[in-house]
Amino acid sequence: MTTPRDINQAMTLHSHLTTLARMRLPAAVIQITRETGELDGYPSIASGADTGRGGHSEDSVVDRTVQARLARNKADSVALGPTAKLDELLDLLVTANRALDLLVKECDRHAPGLTRSDIDRLRCIGTGNPDGATCTQIATPRPHPNGNGSLIDDGRCLDCGRTHDAEERARQEQAAEERRRRAEQAAYMREYRKARR
């Protein structure tokens, strides 16, 4: 049975794959455009070379999966219950993640992988503490700690993000306690001044 946790995990993976695709796609497009410009001046489609799917069976598998999903959604006239709706969401996310994974691999096939500077931009920024500043994990959006289903994308990995969230929560609780103490002290002083009049 699909749970909200499954959806959050799929969303986290989706955000990570989207980031990788965003970093790789420009270089792949530049490389493919350069290769196209080296042809003999005729559009490559004139020979029929680009009319196919590129010889990758995985592409058509993703297409068939998406088409089948859309057909099922259209044919389904019965209102789905909550569990079935979660199953539908997870199914669509898994399909999207599969397509993004293929996109990243295709970009790597046409252009070099991520450079050192690219990787550094994707690197986790750590917790902000000296012992967390050298984290070497990849930044990954994480579920919001309030459980509302949204994601936090602040440049931290899951581990550093959880540590940061716990520290932030502790700081907020400490600040709230300090405000409460100040309010109590102010109320006490008001009562004290009234009593002296």
In this prediction the pTM is: 0.47
Residue type, 170: A
- CA neighbours closer than 13 Å in the CB half-sphere of residue 109: 8
Residue in this structure with the two tokens 């959604």, named with its chain if needed: 73
What pLDDT, in 10s, does the model give residues 147-158?
Answer: 777 788 888 888
The domain segmentation of the chain, as residue ranges, is 4-122, 128-197
What is the average per-residue pLDDT within 53-81? Answer: 54
- 109-134 pLDDT, tens per residue? 877 666 666 666 777 888 877 655 66
